[in-house]
Every structure is written in C-alpha cells, then in structure tokens.
Chain A
Amino acid sequence: MSASRTNFYLDKQNRKWLGVCAGIADYTGVDATWVRVGAVLLTLMGGFPWTLIAYWMAAWFAKPKPIGLYEDAEDAKFWQGVRQSPARTTRDVRSRFRDIDRRLADVELYYTSRNSALANEIERLR
C-alpha cells in the first residue's frame, strides 16, 4: 500500500530547520518563503512560546515525506488541489473527461461524414 497523498508530511528535502514550514508549503501550495515569514512574524508578535511548541509538536508527530511520493511537478500540483478542495478537483477531472469526449466526437464526425461523402460521390458516378 502506497503512502497517502492527503496527509501532512515534513519536507526534509527543502527544509530550513526541521522541515515543518516546507511541509506546510508543500501541503497547501503556498510558497515556503511566505510560510516561514508568517511563522517568524507570528512568533515575534506575541505567540512566542506557543508557535515554537506547535512547531516541535508538528515535527514530532508528522512523518517525513516519502521519496517519490509524486511522479512529477504536475502530479504534486494536482494533489495540492485535492487537499485544498476534493470537490473542485473532481469537477476538474470530470471537465477533462468531457473535453476528451468532445474532441473524440469531432474525430468520429470527421471520419463518418467523410466516408459518407465519399460513398455519395461513388454512388453518383455509377
């Protein structure tokens, strides 16, 4: 059984400290720099012990991201979309299937109509 792609993981490959901020960035799709800036600002603006405690808790409980979890960057983006809103991603996939159906109908129409035109021509030549 492969690893779930909807879990939160520590991103050890792009980490600055323990990989929690990079993991949040990977989970949500927000740039890692903004997550780190936000975390530091939150710490400076009165959240001092609590953000650090939350950071350590996250680093303690979350597993590091398995290597090769995503096939490519497009796959990673797809799963970020799934984590944000599964319903929207499902609608996207459905619209892709509809697009494929429409294009395939074009191909079918081309071949059937051309063959019928050819058949009419042959019929007229007889």
Chain B
Amino acid sequence: MEDLMPAIAIVAIFIGMPWIILHYITQWKKAGSITREDENLLDELHDTARRLDERLNSIERIITADNPHWKQTELPPPPSITRLENRR
C-alpha cells in the first residue's frame, strides 16, 4: 500500500485534475456562448427591429405633421368635418 501511494498521487494530479478542469471548461463554454445559427438569427432580428423602428418613426412624423393630437384618445374632429357641420 505504501508503494502505491506515489502512483495514485501522480495519476490523480496528472490525469484526474486536467480531466476535471477541461470538463468544466467545455461545459462553461457550451453554457455561455451561442451557436453560429443563433448568432446570425439574432443579428438579423436586431437589424429588422432597427429598420422597423426607423420606418415607424418616419410614419409617426408624417401623421404628426398631419394631425399633432393623433395620439390622444379624444381626437379633435378633422377640419373637413367641422366645415360640414358649420354649413349645416
């Protein structure tokens, strides 16, 4: 038994320890990163969101130029309708 101790220690240090360390490194890399397909998908979604955002901004600007109070729930009547009412 006394003779076996150094052999066990050497096996534990030079095979067991690197094994455990590499095992946890690979697990950590798998958990922390995303795959290539996910990366491309995320890139595309991010780009689409940005473009949609820009388009919506310009649309909202156009509507605001048309009617500044369009976001309120109580909409002031459009000018054409008031004119019709006045004529009546």
Which residues of the partner chain A approach B43 to less than 8 Å between Cβ atoms? 5
State which of A78, A107, A113, A114 has its C-beta within 8 Å of the C-beta of B59: A107
What's the Cα separation between A103 and B55 when bound, in Å?
A: 11
* Contact present for A97 and B49 (CB under 8 Å): yes
* Contact present for B34 and A86 (CB under 8 Å): yes
State which of B42, B56, B70 has its C-beta within 8 Å of the C-beta of A86: B42
Which residues of the partner chain B approach A110 to less than 8 Å between Cβ atoms? 63, 70-71, 75
* Contact present for B53 and A96 (CB under 8 Å): yes
A52 at the interface (CB under 8 A from B): no
A118 at the interface (CB under 8 A from B): yes
Which residues of the partner chain B approach A93 to less than 8 Å between Cβ atoms? 42, 45-46, 49
Which residues of the partner chain A approach B84 to less than 8 Å between Cβ atoms? 121, 125
| Number of interface residues, chain B, beta carbon within 8 A | 26
Which residues of the partner chain B approach A43 to less than 8 Å between Cβ atoms? none
A40 at the interface (CB under 8 A from B): no
* Closest A residue, CB atoms, query B82: A121
Q: Which residues of A contact B (CB under 8 A)?
A: 4-6, 78, 82, 86, 89-90, 93, 96-97, 99-100, 103-104, 106-107, 110, 113-114, 117-118, 121, 125
* Contact present for A114 and B75 (CB under 8 Å): yes
Which residues of the partner chain B approach A113 to less than 8 Å between Cβ atoms? 75
* Contact present for A4 and B42 (CB under 8 Å): no
Which residues of the partner chain A approach B77 to less than 8 Å between Cβ atoms? 117, 121
Q: List 11 other contacts, CB 8 Å, given A103-B60, A121-B77.
A: A4-B36, A86-B38, A96-B53, A100-B49, A100-B53, A106-B71, A107-B56, A114-B78, A117-B81, A118-B80, A125-B84
* Contact present for B56 and A78 (CB under 8 Å): no
What's the Cα separation between A106 and B84 when bound, in Å?
A: 27
What's the Cα separation between A113 and B31 when bound, in Å?
A: 49
B26 at the interface (CB under 8 A from A): no
What's the Cα separation between A107 and B34 when bound, in Å?
A: 36
